[in-house]
Amino acid sequence: MEDPPPPPPPEPEPDAPASPPREEPDPSPPPRRLLRLRCAVQHYEWGRRGAASLVARLAGDADPDPDCPYAELWMGTHPSAPSTILDDGTPLRDWLALNPDALGPAVAARWGGDLPFLFKVLSVAKALSIQAHPDKKLAEVLHALRPSTYKDGNHKPEMAIAVTEFRALCGFAGIEELKDVLRTVPEVEGLLGHEYAGKILSLKEYEGGNEVKSNLKSAFAKLMTANRDMVSEALAKLINRLNTESKIRTLTDKEQLVLSLERQYQEDVGVLATLFFNYVKLSPGEALYIGANEPHAYLSGNALNVWPLQTMLSVLNFPEIMRGVPVQPYVRRYTPPFDEFEVDCCLVPPGELVVISPVPGPSIFLVMTGEGEVQVDSVTDGEKAKEGDVFFVPAYTELKFSACGPEFMQLYRAGVNSRFFS
């Protein structure tokens, strides 16, 4: 049997087509843009009602319910009341998850791809309850014990910037003032009893801070947990006495505050507790920050409020009033000792162009008053901006603001503390 013939030689393959030239990536980042936000309103009972509320006005409610309290406007990613993108309703937090570059690398790495702050507007008609946001360790304990009251295990230092006159109780009063309370307000001294009152009266201003703070907290806890019937009786005696004495002398600011609060919250031990605290009156443009564990209560007025969504910093001992410092023409900055946030106030005069330099973190802008135009990165057409508009601004974005008409345009910016980046 003959061997099979050898296979034919393979035909030559056609020449492969030349590969297309490799395109180099564009080194320039995609154009930055503003995200207009729709922000949530909180209708807490202490809020100003109807058209009298700054929150209702900024929220754009053309016909606010006169019987409805408009207490807070929330700007940010808090899951209880998240802001959404106006164009398509996407939650800002979801958009950030898909666009982490908008946070900048340092912020994205530190705070897990989310905004580290919540920006608010407050419109306060009635005093809020006295509260003290716990530090991280205490917050975890309280959250475990009373989750309905303490919603999470994070501390919440905060800053409030007055838009109108704003009144608050903030931090324990000085030792000498507290001693004077015990000497002149027998109703409080009676509720504390001789043991706790004696500890306060024996304190010295120059003594160690831990001992002073410990005794103050013990006495305050004793007052706040006093028998309800005893509180009601003591408060009735105090109110009757102050009403009588007001006819023959001028009451102090604290005494007038006690009468005012008692009309709002009858038989409430918090009315007596106000005598333990610093009574602060902020003028527009003044601010205060409050550390974890510092007791405080907002009483009346309109303010901007910022606080962290997570905990990263140590505890402050006492509040401090700030007036902001100029960082460029027409811009003042409020810088608390927290990494998570700072606030800029920008006042754009008619006919002027104010340039906001890029920062390496995200920002939220609120137009408080006036109207004008905002331009992004000098490459896009300007957009209209008016009272109540809220914008999310990605990291590394330059903005230019100009005011329209005869009035100033006032804006506030919340962003990550600039000291964090240095």
344 forms bridges with which residues in the sheet?
A: 333, 413
Binding site for Zn(2+), by residue number, is: 131, 133, 158, 296
Give the alpha-carbon dihedral of 149, 155, 159, 164, to 10 degrees: 0
Quote the strand ranges of 148-192, DSSP E: 158-162, 166-172
- The residues, any chain, with a CB within 8 Å of residue 50's CB and separated by 6 or more, are 56, 64, 65, 66, 67, 68, 70
- The residues, any chain, with a CB within 8 Å of residue 72's CB and separated by 6 or more, are 41, 42, 44, 47, 55, 120, 121, 122, 123, 305
Binding site, by residue number, is: 131, 133, 158, 296
Give the type of residue at 251: L
H-helix or E-strand spanning residue 334: strand 331-334
Sheet holding 353-356, edge to edge: 353-356, 399-403, 371-376, 383-386
Pairwise CA distance, residues 124 & 136, whole Å: 28
Pairwise CA distance, residues 37 & 23, whole Å: 37
112 φ/ψ sector (left φ>0, alpha ψ -120 to 50, else beta): left
Pairwise CA distance, residues 202 & 144, whole Å: 36
Contact 410, 343 (CB under 8 A): no
Pairwise CA distance, residues 98 & 100, whole Å: 6
Strand, coil or helix: 378: coil
Report residue 303: phi and psi, to 5°.
-155, 160
